[in-house]
């Protein structure tokens, strides 16, 4: 059953929330009195559609519907999640919450995107204070997974757990703060860095571009995958965090920073910073910068995904949830053996395309290799089995590139077992986008002992699972292209 979310306020943040929900299969109702709201959210949706689906190696659910409504009451009716993203003025938020709670379900989560107000301030005068909580995201909401979840002392336990479960299903991480504080946690770090950066520009120490270079070429990359404390633990070497603290702790007493002071925002300072920023990035439009940002984020997060670390580990967890209960999560004994097996349904990510604008040839092999891995898991050759010393090694591969495919395409791979007996496994993969055949991959594998690195029989359970599917597939028509050599007639 499709779930419904309501978005109150459709600016950059509200639009990002809408995209995150819609692309994960939720129906979304939007209320925003801005006559340009539909256009603005449409542009955010376009950016999200080209980037978010490619984060995962499992295709996201079919899109939900996006609709715009003339009143808050109409938008929130029946919604399970209501996200407020109106301007940062407390009186506006209080008036908004009053209208929301007059019309919404008592079991709905009401999240606020506020970057500064504490939940106790938001809950003042509310009909059901425990229903309202801070759910502070980061831009772009459709890609960055962190949500600072601050329910406050009035927070209802059941709604807090519901909020965590919903966010996890969207591929997000709920940082549940047990104690409220102005600006929560992450923005306090950002404010400190921003404050110091303003002084560095004002005092002529560095330009806006030089400061950005210091972050993106240095500690920013470390922070992206390990954060602050784990980065410093590594910096402490074998002696660990205690050594780091002993070595660098005294520096905290030195007058290195101006964190307690703020430079006056004079016209001269504003013009200086704006001018340097224009020189740095003014040759790109905002839409171009957003797409560049999204390309970089997808590539970095997919790199972390391969390492099952940081934001990448969240993507892997989301994929596991999406596979559960589907053909992609089935075991061999749950698979019908009278037809090819679905081993992949995924979106082609942004970083899989080449200079010709379509999927580069190495990614065809990766897609088929991933399908082989999925089939191995189905028959029991999973991580636990491999850890015990057995696996399949590919001995020969042949790929036919039949049609081009572009970033954002949803592709499916089905796998037919040509031979599955003893040490040998011969698979034929077919890649499609809808009815269009894109490529085929033929792969011959041998079961190997990881102790001797030589061919060996698989476990009886794997041999039986593979044999059952091979026997069923023996009655299927011979796949077109099977056994084709390079240069053979098509």
Is 311 within the bounds of a domain?
Answer: no
Q: Report residue 400's pLDDT band, with 50, 70 and 90 as the boundaries.
A: very high
Q: Are residues 367 and 398 in the same domain?
A: yes
Report the CATH number at residue 59. Answer: 3.40.50.720
Provide the pLDDT confidence category of residue 241 given band limits of 50, 70 and 90.
Answer: confident
Residue 167's nearest CA partner among 139, 140, 141, 129 is 141
In a domain? residue 442 = yes
User: Could you report the per-residue pLDDT of 444-488, keeping only the tens digit for each?
Assistant: 999 999 999 999 999 999 999 999 999 999 999 999 999 988 875
In which element (H, E) is residue 388 found? Answer: none
| Domain boundary pick from 132, 151, 176 | 176
Coil vs helix vs strand at 350: helix
Tell me whether residue 483 is in a domain: no
Q: Classify strands 424-433 and 436-449 as parallel, antiparallel or unpaired.
A: antiparallel
209 and 166 within one domain: no
Residues 398 and 467 in one domain: yes
Q: Are residues 121 and 144 in the same domain?
A: yes
What tens digit of pLDDT does each residue of 258-271 get? Answer: 777 778 878 898 89
Contact status, residue 332 vs residue 70, Cβ threshold 8 Å: no
Reading the block at residue 479, the tokens are 């796949």
Domain-embedded: residue 319:
no
Tell me the CATH number at 456: 3.10.129.10
pLDDT digits (tens, 9 = 90+) for 292-347: 999 999 999 999 999 999 999 999 999 999 988 888 888 888 888 899 999 999 99
Residues 9 and 149 in one domain: yes
Question: What is the pTM (predicted TM-score) of this model?
Answer: 0.88
22 is in an annotated binding site: no
Domain-ending residue, one of 127, 151, 176: 176
User: Is 46 part of a structural domain of the chain?
Assistant: yes
- 337 and 359 in one domain? yes
Confidence of residue 277 (pLDDT cuts 50, 70, 90): confident
What's 246's domain CATH number?
1.10.1040.10
Q: In this predicted model, what pLDDT tens digit does every residue of 1-25 receive, in sequence order?
A: 789 999 999 999 999 999 999 999 9
275 marked as binding residue? no
**What does the pLDDT look like over 96-150, one tens digit per residue?**
999 999 999 999 999 999 999 999 999 999 999 999 999 999 999 999 999 999 9
Q: Does one domain contain both 333 and 215?
A: no
Residues 214 and 166 in one domain: no
Domain count, the chain: 3
193 & 164 share domain: no
Same domain, 154 and 196: no
Same domain, 17 and 59: yes
Contact 458/466 with Cβ under 8 angstroms? yes
- Percent of the chain's residues with pLDDT above 90: 77
| Residue 422, marked binder | no
DSSP class per residue in 40-53: HHHHHHHHHHHHGG
**Domain check: are 229 and 350 in the same one?**
no
Residue 221 lies in a domain: yes
The last residue of one of the domains, among 111, 143, 176, is 176
Beta bridge partners of 83: 7, 111
pLDDT in tens, 171-227: 999 999 999 999 999 999 898 899 999 999 999 999 999 999 999 989 999 998 888
13 known member of a binding site? yes
390 is in an annotated binding site: no
Does residue 312 belong to any structural domain of this protein?
A: no
In DSSP terms, 347 is beta-bridged to: 410
Domain that holds residue 259: 186-283
Position 249 pLDDT exceeds 60: yes
> Is residue 171 marked as binding?
no
| Cα–Cα separations (whole angstroms), residue 430 to 367, 372, 412, 479 | 11, 12, 8, 9
């Amino acid at each position: 059953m499709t779930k419904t979310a309501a978005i109150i306020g459709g600016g950059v943040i509200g639009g990002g929330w809408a995209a995150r929900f819609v692309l994960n299969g939720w129906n979304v109702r939007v209320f925003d009195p801005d006559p340009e709201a539909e256009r603005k959210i449409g542009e955010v949706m376009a950016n999200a559609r080209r980037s978010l689906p490619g984060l995962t190696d499992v295709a996201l659910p079919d899109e939900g519907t996006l609709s715009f409504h003339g009143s808050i009451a109409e938008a929130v009716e029946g919604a399970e999640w209501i996200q407020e993203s109106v301007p940062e003025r407390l009186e506006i938020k209080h008036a908004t919450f009053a209208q929301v709670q007059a019309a919404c379900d008592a079991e709905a989560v009401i999240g606020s995107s506020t970057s500064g107000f504490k939940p106790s301030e938001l809950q003042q005068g509310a009909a059901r204070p425990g229903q309202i909580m801070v759910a502070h995201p980061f831009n772009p909401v459709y890609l960055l997974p962190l949500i600072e979840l601050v329910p406050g002392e009035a927070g209802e336990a059941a709604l807090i757990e519901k909020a965590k479960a919903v966010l996890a299903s969207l591929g997000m991480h709920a940082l549940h703060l047990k104690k409220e504080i102005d600006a929560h946690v992450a923005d306090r770090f950002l404010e400190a860095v921003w404050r110091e950066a303003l002084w560095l520009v004002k005092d002529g120490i560095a330009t806006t571009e030089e400061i950005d270079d210091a972050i993106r070429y240095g500690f920013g990359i470390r922070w992206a995958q390990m954060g602050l404390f784990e980065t410093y633990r590594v910096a402490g070497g074998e002696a660990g965090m205690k050594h780091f603290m002993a070595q660098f702790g005294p520096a905290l007493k030195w007058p290195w920073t101006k964190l307690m002071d703020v430079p006056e925002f004079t016209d001269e300072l504003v013009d200086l910073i704006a001018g340097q920023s224009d020189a740095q990035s003014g040759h790109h439009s905002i839409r171009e910068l957003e797409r560049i940002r999204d390309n970089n984020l997808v590539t970095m997060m997919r790199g972390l995904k391969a390492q099952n670390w940081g934001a990448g580990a969240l993507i892997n967890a989301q994929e596991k949830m999406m596979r559960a209960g589907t053909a992609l999560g089935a075991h061999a004994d749950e698979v019908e053996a009278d037809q090819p097996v679905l081993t992949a349904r995924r979106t082609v990510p942004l970083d899989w395309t080449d200079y010709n604008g379509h999927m580069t040839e190495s990614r065809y092999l990766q897609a088929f290799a991933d399908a082989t891995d999925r089939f191995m898991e189905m028959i029991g050759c999973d991580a636990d089995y491999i850890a015990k010393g057995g696996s399949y090694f590919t001995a020969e591969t042949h790929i036919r590139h039949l049609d081009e495919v572009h970033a954002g395409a949803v592709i499916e791979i089905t796998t037919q077992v040509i031979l599955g007996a003893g040490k040998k496994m011969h698979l034929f993969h077919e890649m499609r986008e809808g009815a269009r055949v894109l490529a085929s991959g033929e792969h011959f594998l041998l079961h190997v002992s990881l102790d001797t690195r030589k061919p060996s029989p698989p476990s009886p359970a794997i041999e039986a699972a593979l044999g059952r599917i091979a026997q069923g597939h023996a009655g299927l028509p011979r796949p077109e292209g099977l056994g084709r050599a390079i240069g053979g007639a098509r």
